[in-house]
Amino acid sequence: MPRDVFQAVIIGAGPAGLTAAYELSRHAAPVIVLEADPQYVGGISRTVNYKDFRFDIGGHRFFSKSREVEDLWTAICGPDMLERPRSSRIYYRGQFFTYPLRAFEALSKLGLIESARCMLSFAKARLNPTPNPQTFEDWVVNQFGERLFRIFFKTYTEKVWGMSCQEISADWAAQRIKGLSLGSALKHALLPQSKSKDRKTVVKTLIDTFRYPRLGPGMMWEAFAHRVDLQGGEVRLGGRVESCRFDRASNLWFVTTRDATGKTEEFCGRHVVSSMPIRELIANLEPRLSEEVVRAAQSLRYRDFLTVGLIVRDRDRFRDNWIYIHDPSVKVGRVQNYKSWSPEMVPDPAYASYGLEYFCFEGDGLWNTPDSGLLALARQEIQQLGLADQADIVDGCVIRQPKAYPVYDDTYQQNVAVIRAALERNFPTLHLVGRNGMHKYNNQDHAMMTAMLSARNILAGTRKYDVWAVNQDAEYHESGSAGDIPAAPQEKSTITPTAPAWSG
């Protein structure tokens, strides 16, 4: 028998893993967090430091409908949390549109003829919708018409996912777009509204501020790791989990990591909480699950992401937090301006730092382009967009993020259902949490909530809460007020399919 038996061995020091460790160690349960990255905690929510310029993996807003999550952020990072104004625009055909869209601006920039075409095409879609839409394209066209779909959804969405909108599941649209998004904003901007029916929704959904740690999201996750340490837990960096073995005789888990030098280490626990991608977990799980389950896991797909960070002499060209680039003439999908997120993201106010976000697949042409080539591309594109002059760019870096997005294709739901059922049947002490850990489009707060509930299940010794019910509120991402939901979700027995515990 190994010397230490942890109550839980936790895989990954992203928001989910650290929250599980925080919650368990708060109740004096012995825990260890195993993180592959040798330098950073925070996972996709880390902040990368390049010569004291700080870069997010995409800007990370701190906004939750859960009062408990908001309060926890305050407790951990309170004095360092800023309340920031949100400002974002869309770049389309050489023009910038305020986002969420404003009626007069959108009309004048699209022009009367184009606006009239949009309305006709919207009317056509409403009169003759695709019944039971299965794809992103059909779902959006049904909601907004073909014309608006082409202008404001198609190019950006295909840049993000690297596949045709006909291949993307309607689920994603339903989760991201319902409530207020670009589409409904445009609809409200361009189309007459039935008296006050939608008024409350419109006002409620225009989120114009969010919270943000003054040194970026990594600051929050470093503070979490520190708290775990103070509570007696451990966060171990630099070892990638490469096997998870369950021993039926002892009911214990044996988790093995390997570091960059090839050294392996084994950790033993009563429970495993995993935020590593499901595909990798299943491939490394012993005893091996059936071929059907292994195949389902191998079929899960991911979209990868890289940010080219540019350091520029600040000429005050734009103050948005981010700009969506809907234009097909450049490869960049979104541009972040980190100084607008927090002035302390740059060490010297004479400079600004931009993040040019490129969506790609690990191993494709863009991903494999050497850093020098990516920096050259970003320099050329930022100038083409009119957001900086090449002469003002003084330095830069490239940050690659594999598996940034779990892909919602038309088989993912079935695959996840197969995997979930097999795991619950065979390994009741294995808990899937977080974003890639559950193959769900979870934001930080959802990732945290799945971890809090899993920790409570472990402490209770039974699966009291259904973690899969978190983030079923389709309106969540863009609507509602921070802290709308007062406390922890209800227990499993009270959850009904039509009113998930986590919905607002």
Ligand X SMILES: Cc1cc2nc3c(=O)[nH]c(=O)nc-3n(C[C@H](O)[C@H](O)[C@H](O)COP(=O)(O)OP(=O)(O)OC[C@H]3O[C@@H](n4cnc5c(N)ncnc54)[C@H](O)[C@@H]3O)c2cc1C
**Site residues (vs ligand X, CB under 6 A):** 11-17, 34-37, 43-45, 57-61, 240-241, 275-276, 280, 305, 404-405, 434-437, 442-445, 447
Query: Can you read off the two tokens belonging to residue 129?
Result: 């919708």
In this structure, are residues 328 and 94 in contact, taking their beta carbons and an 8 Å threshold? no
In this structure, are residues 15 and 43 in contact, taking their beta carbons and an 8 Å threshold? yes
Query: For residues 126 and 226, which CB has a smaller minimum distance to ligand X in the complex?
Result: 226
- Long-range CB contacts for residues 144-148, cutoff 8 Å, separation at least 24: 144/183, 144/186, 144/187, 145/118, 145/119, 145/120, 145/121, 146/121, 147/114, 147/117, 147/118, 147/120, 147/121, 147/122, 148/118, 148/121, 148/122, 148/183, 148/186, 148/187, 148/190
Query: For residues 443 and 454, which CB has a smaller minimum distance to ligand X in the complex?
Result: 443
Supply the minimum distance, in Å, between the C-beta of residue 58 and ligand X: 2
Return the HEC string of 359-407. EECCCCHHHHCCHHHHHHHHHHHHHHCCCCCHHHEEEEEEEEEEEEEEC
Query: For residues 37 and 392, which CB has a smaller minimum distance to ligand X in the complex?
Result: 37
- CA 272 → CA 10, 222, 337, 424, 447, distances in Å? 6, 22, 38, 13, 16
Supply the minimum distance, in Å, between the C-beta of residue 469 and ligand X: 16
Query: For residues 11 and 485, which CB has a smaller minimum distance to ligand X in the complex?
Result: 11
Query: For residues 146 and 280, which CB has a smaller minimum distance to ligand X in the complex?
Result: 280
Supply the minimum distance, in Å, between the C-beta of residue 214 and ligand X: 16
Query: For residues 125 and 397, which CB has a smaller minimum distance to ligand X in the complex?
Result: 397
Query: For residues 183 and 437, which CB has a smaller minimum distance to ligand X in the complex?
Result: 437
Query: For residues 119 and 283, which CB has a smaller minimum distance to ligand X in the complex?
Result: 283
In this structure, are residues 304 and 400 in contact, taking their beta carbons and an 8 Å threshold? yes
Task: Give the integer Cα–Cα distance in Å for 154 and 160.
Answer: 10
For residue 485, give the DSSP letter: B
Supply the minimum distance, in Å, between the C-beta of residue 163 and ligand X: 17
Supply the minimum distance, in Å, between the C-beta of residue 45 and ligand X: 4
Supply the minimum distance, in Å, between the C-beta of residue 216 and ligand X: 11
Supply the minimum distance, in Å, between the C-beta of residue 446 and ligand X: 7
In this structure, are residues 70 and 482 in contact, taking their beta carbons and an 8 Å threshold? yes
Phi-psi region of 82 (alpha: psi -120 to 50; beta: other; left: phi over 0): beta
Query: For residues 36 and 106, which CB has a smaller minimum distance to ligand X in the complex?
Result: 36
Supply the minimum distance, in Å, between the C-beta of residue 55 and ligand X: 12
Assign 17 to helix, strand or coil. Answer: helix
Which residues, 6+ apart, have CB-to-CB distance to 184 below 8 Å? 143, 177, 205
Query: For residues 138 and 357, which CB has a smaller minimum distance to ligand X in the complex?
Result: 357
Supply the minimum distance, in Å, between the C-beta of residue 445 and ligand X: 6
Query: Can you read off the two tokens belonging to residue 316?
Result: 């005050």
Handedness of CA 219, 312, 155, 99 (dihedral sign): positive
Query: For residues 57 and 501, which CB has a smaller minimum distance to ligand X in the complex?
Result: 57
Supply the minimum distance, in Å, between the C-beta of residue 63 and ligand X: 7
Question: Which residue type sits at 253?
Answer: W
Task: Give the integer Cα–Cα distance in Å for 441 and 404.
Answer: 10
Supply the minimum distance, in Å, between the C-beta of residue 251 and ligand X: 23
Supply the minimum distance, in Å, between the C-beta of residue 448 and ligand X: 8
Query: For residues 147 and 435, which CB has a smaller minimum distance to ligand X in the complex?
Result: 435
For residue 408, give the DSSP letter: -
Assign 347 to helix, strand or coil. Answer: coil
Task: Give the integer Cα–Cα distance in Å for 183 and 143.
Answer: 8
